[in-house]
Structure 1
Amino acid sequence: MAGPVWSIGQVMKLLKPDFADLSISKIRFLETEGLLSPERAPSGYRKYAESDVERLRYILTCQRDNFQPLKVIREHLEMLDRGEEPPSVDQPAPPGAGSDKEPGVQGPVIPQPRAPIRMNRRELVRASGITEAHLVELERHQLVRTKRGHDWYGQEALMVCVASRRLREYGMDTRHIRAMRQAAEREAGMIEQTVLPHARHPQRANQVATEITSLVLHAHAAMVYDLLQH
């Protein structure tokens, strides 16, 4: 294998600054799903080449920034493997970026480090493409809110605003978003109960919560797709 290689632990440390919830178990999970195929040394240890690291960065970026399920990511990876360009995806743009394009819509995901999103009210409206009245409606139903203890909005608020705007184009309004929120609250409650036994060890509790959340989201997406295909 030409070029530098890394162990799975080194890969995690390399990407951890950009993906705080990354863990070795998550990388192994992506391997079992067939999205990653690093070479193995005779001793059995994984050997990640630069192309493997960039592939993993692409997967994690799709999950973090676009909430894409593994099925969609797998299709995109197969296109990349064939030398094709994957289809464009909706991705919230940071304030001031891509001002000549429709707010909240960009081209294909390009794996790169991204700073946490922090926006005031005006920036959120501009970046998501919704109106002030639309934002007021979402806030009234507690579907969008500032970060706890702060006066700014984060990634989650931006994603909900963009999704709400796009869903309106298909006739889905705030009532439908409320139903999604209720489902999310049930899932969050289930995760909190599962993590509770680890509360005395915050670092371990955070790791467990991250891993369970990832698995719950994957299972949720898979079941929705399964229901739509029958």
Structure 2
Amino acid sequence: MVLAHAEHSGPRVLNIGEVLAQLSDDFPTMTASKIRFLEEKGLITPNRTPAGYRQYSENDVERLRFVLSLQRDQYLPLKVIKDYLDAIDRGERPENLPPGVKVSPRIVSDEFAAEMTGRVRALTEEQLRTESGASVPLLQSLLSFGLIQHSNGRFDEHALQVAKACVQLESHGLEPRHLRPFQAAAEREFGLVERAVSPLSSRRDAASQARAAEAAREISELCLTLHRALVQDRIARMDS
């Protein structure tokens, strides 16, 4: 659970004037209207009293620092910054954060804070089996067909997602040997995405890298939408 967005914690509640006071040294031009604007854009979500008054937490202040720093120092658009925060709120590592950008532990869970400081979550085979529900033979097959990989015997979150999906597919009679086309399709799709964003990704500045990452995610989602529509079209024809 992400503390900054889903649930405020800690004893101190701040009003908007106190928030401005905390930010004033680093962001002297910050105003109450700018804070409300960022709230309208979904970048912060303060609690409200029954009467509708905003109640800010220290976590909200840290989110604002994160947003304002990326705007000021990296010249990033709010949409890109919101993508970063959305990833954090989902418990994920934001992709292609600009070099040197730190994510405060106050705006993430303890587990994710550890990941952001370089201690990436790594699962043993036993943990992977337990969390995915996969059997030993299934995991062995996933490894042999290249659907999951490990580093020094440890698996990442992507391997966990693949294993979970394959457990469900196995219940429908689809084994890892049947799923190799997905790996080939993923590699082809990545090639398309990589080629499409290469004009941006070839640049070394942080803003271009962030826009390349945003474009890559958008293209990938469009590819998945296209794939789903094509498959559903063929399924619909089964009934006709």
Superposition TM-score, scaled by structure 1 size: 0.51
Unaligned runs of 5+ in 1: 31-55, 66-111
**Which residue of the partner structure matches residue 118 of structure 1?**
122
User: Higher relative contact order by CA 8 Å / sep ≥ 6: 1 or 2?
Assistant: 2
Deviations 1:11-47 (A, max 9, x none): 2882979xxxx9733578x9xxxxxxxxxxxxxxxxx
Pair 1:215-2:218 in alignment: yes
**8 Å contact 1:195–1:205 — kept in the other structure?**
no
Corresponding position of 1:105: none
By how many angstroms is 1:176 displaced?
Answer: 3.6
Question: Which amino acid in 2 is paired with 1:118?
Answer: A
Give the corresponding residue for 1:5: 36
Which runs of 5 or more residues in structure 2 are unaligned?
1-14, 17-34, 45-61, 68-75, 94-107, 116-120
Q: How far did 1:156 drift?
A: 0.3
Alpha-carbon distance change, 138 to 224 in structure 1, aligned in 2, over 3 angstroms = same
Show the counterpart of 1:138: 142
CA–CA distance in 1 between the matches of 2:126 and 2:42? 41
Q: Does the CA contact (< 8 Å) of 1:135 and 1:161 recur in 2?
A: yes
Q: Does 1:164 align with 2:169?
A: no
Residues 1:188 and 1:224: Cα distance change in structure 2 (over 3 Å): closer
Tell me by how many angstroms 1:212 deviates: 2.6
Q: Which residue of 1 aligns with 2:176?
A: 174
What CA distance in whole angstroms lies between the structure 2 residues aligned with 1:61 and 1:174?
28
SS in 2 for 1:11: coil
Residue of structure 1 in register with 2:63 after alignment: 14
Counterparts of 1:25-174 in structure 2 under 5 Å?
25-26=79-80, 57=86, 61=90, 113=109, 115=112, 116=115, 117-147=121-151, 151-174=153-176
Distance 2:159 2:125 in 1: 11
Counting helix residues as a fraction of each chain, which structure ranks higher?
A: 2
Higher Cα Rg: structure 1 or 2?
2
Distance 1:143 1:166 in 2: 15
Paired residues in the alignment total: 151
Instruction: Indicate the percent of aligned positions where both proteins have the same amino acid.
Output: 22
